Structure 1
Amino acid sequence: MENFEKSLKKIKNVKVIDASIPYETYISLDLSVQSKQMSKFSPKTAEDYSQFLNKYLYKNKAKVAYGGYLEKRNLYERSTIFNEQSTEVRNIHIGLDLWIAAGTSVLAALEGTVHSFQNNTNLGDYGPTIILQHTLNNCQFYTLYGHLALESIALLHIGQPVKQGDKIAELGNSSVNGDYAPHLHFQIIKNIGDYFGDYPGVCSEKDLDYFKENCPNPNLLLKINS
């Protein structure tokens, strides 16, 4: 829906992690299979990725690395949840990642209510996850926040109201976040169907057209590099 994307672009001052960190200290990061940034480094574990990211941020005098929308990645090869069927490998990322330390505050992108939450515990999964429900110009849609700390979902309840900019969570470490370097997976979802506390954040080439339409670029809302 073109009008929906246009409406997202008009919203200003949206942040989903620590609002005190200015966008001037964000830097883009390419984790795709063609990435030049990764060509000299082959991380295998969460600790490897953390070391790589820390060096990358330090070298560039940055505080947050971001990116990943529609990237085809090798990152998911280690987990069977992305390779259930050999003909439909899921390796295209359909959210936006914000890489920063565990414990960083996670903020509600917009006013809304808690739709659902869940701890998705598979290797390579989201770990603790929160999904918020929003209404914009009579259009209902959702935002997903993945790789959180366990404490973030301990006291939530469905229907709980949130305001734009409210702290709703903190980022988790690799022991709870699906075994990744700490980061926030942020995703916009138009039609969530029957999903509860979970929604695909990675898709196959075959399903890409559907997910591009149903999960528009989160940077339409965040405007990190505008």
Structure 2
Amino acid sequence: MPLDHFQQLLHSLGQESLHVLSDTFSKSDYVPLDLSKDNPDLQKIDVSSSEALGQYIDAHIEKHHGKIAYGGYLETRHIYRRSTHFNNFKPVDERNIHLGLDLWIAAETPIFTPLDAEVHSFKNNTLFGDYGPTIILKHQVEGTVFFTLYGHLSLESLTDLTVGQLFKQGDQIAALGAASVNGDYPPHLHFQIIKDIQEYVGDYPGVCSQKDLAFYKANCPDPNLMLQLY
């Protein structure tokens, strides 16, 4: 399917080797990870346990001689069934389709803005299975305004942060949080692109239901258009 204008802009930006983790990592350090409901390996572990899931992810990274595991855009996952935040037990409304790109790496790993940015909002989303500390940045490129969301951060990432604060491309904006603060997940960054932030402040859905997929797929295009990891 051809890219629309916004997707073309993101892809064009991605030609500039943008990054949200340190630029000392090479593309060979990133290994793909499948956390979808169709991965039979996940049926052998307790995915409701951040410790068990973390051990699986760490072993996967080591097996493939990488440093970071990535993946998850539009992936249908069962791992959200542990949390009533996503699952109201009505299949038609079950939120299980992931709208961002996950980068799995150790807690306290620094996070950088891929573009010049202004802090739109931030919040500690404390529900079980939620983002934990979250930052949303606003970008304006070639007259187009859009937003990027960074979820599962450390509590310290929100300290002294202010709405309207400016960052230059490549500035450190945060660090990753541990399971104790990040919604009870193995440490990772949830990175999401948002075209229209709507009325959200410090939060935006990172998982949707099948019935809402068309809207969110259009409003939250593939982050790999910018990061170009694969």
Please indicate the TM-score interval, normalised by the length of the shorter structure: over 0.9
Encode CA deviations 1:124-181: one digit per residue, 9 max, x unaligned: 0000000000012211100000000000001100000011111000000000000000
Contact 1:111-1:162 within 8 A present in 2 as well: yes
Q: SS state of the match for residue 80, structure 1?
A: coil
Q: SS state of the match for residue 42, structure 2?
A: coil
Q: Tell me how far apart the structure 2 counterparts of residues 53 and 80 of structure 1 sit (CA, whole Å).
A: 24
TM-score in terms of structure 2 length? 0.95
Q: Tell me how far apart the structure 1 counterparts of residues 137 and 146 of structure 2 sit (CA, whole Å).
A: 9
Q: SS state of the match for residue 82, structure 1?
A: coil
Which stretches of structure 1, 4 residues or longer, exceed 6 Å deviation after superposition? none
Contact 1:147-1:185 within 8 A present in 2 as well: yes
Map of 2:76 onto structure 1: 72
Residue 7 of structure 2, aligned match among 2, 5, 11: 5
Q: What letter matches 1:171 in structure 2?
A: L
Contact 1:31-1:37 within 8 A present in 2 as well: no
Map of 2:224 onto structure 1: 219
Shift in Å, 1:36: 4.2
Q: SS state of the match for residue 53, structure 2?
A: helix
Q: SS state of the match for residue 180, structure 1?
A: coil
Q: Tell me how far apart the structure 2 counterparts of residues 219 and 74 of structure 1 sit (CA, whole Å).
A: 23
Shift in Å, 1:222: 0.2
Contact 2:31-2:66 within 8 A present in 1 as well: yes
Contact 1:30-1:37 within 8 A present in 2 as well: no
Contact 1:73-1:93 within 8 A present in 2 as well: yes
Report percent identity of matched pairs. Answer: 51
State how 1:191-206 maps to structure 2 within 5 Å: 191-206=196-211
TM-score in terms of structure 1 length? 0.96
Residue 48 of structure 2, aligned match among 44, 47, 58: 44
2:142 pairs with 1:142: no
Encode CA deviations 1:16-71: one digit per residue, 9 max, x unaligned: 11221111110000100111453543433111111111111111111000000000
Q: SS state of the match for residue 18, structure 1?
A: coil
Contact 1:57-1:63 within 8 A present in 2 as well: yes
Residue 93 of structure 1, aligned match among 82, 98, 119: 98
2:181 pairs with 1:185: no
Q: What letter matches 1:59 in structure 2?
A: K
Contact 2:94-2:209 within 8 A present in 1 as well: yes
2:223 pairs with 1:207: no
Q: What letter matches 1:45 in structure 2?
A: S
Q: Which runs of 5+ in 2 are unaligned?
A: none
Q: Tell me how far apart the structure 2 counterparts of residues 85 and 3 of structure 1 sit (CA, whole Å).
A: 37
Q: Tell me how far apart the structure 2 counterparts of residues 36 and 219 of structure 1 sit (CA, whole Å).
A: 25
Residue 18 of structure 1, aligned match among 7, 18, 22: 22
Q: Tell me how far apart the structure 2 counterparts of residues 57 and 16 of structure 1 sit (CA, whole Å).
A: 19
RMSD: 1.2
Residue 118 of structure 2, aligned match among 113, 121, 128: 113
Q: What letter matches 1:207 in structure 2?
A: D
Which stretch shows the higher mean deviation, 38-47 or 193-202? 38-47
Q: What letter matches 1:9 in structure 2?
A: H
Q: Tell me how far apart the structure 2 counterparts of residues 215 and 8 of structure 1 sit (CA, whole Å).
A: 11
Shift in Å, 1:3: 1.2
Name the one with the larger helix percent: 2
Encode CA deviations 1:87-120: one digit per residue, 9 max, x unaligned: 4110000000000000101010211100000000
Q: Tell me how far apart the structure 2 counterparts of residues 85 and 38 of structure 1 sit (CA, whole Å).
A: 21
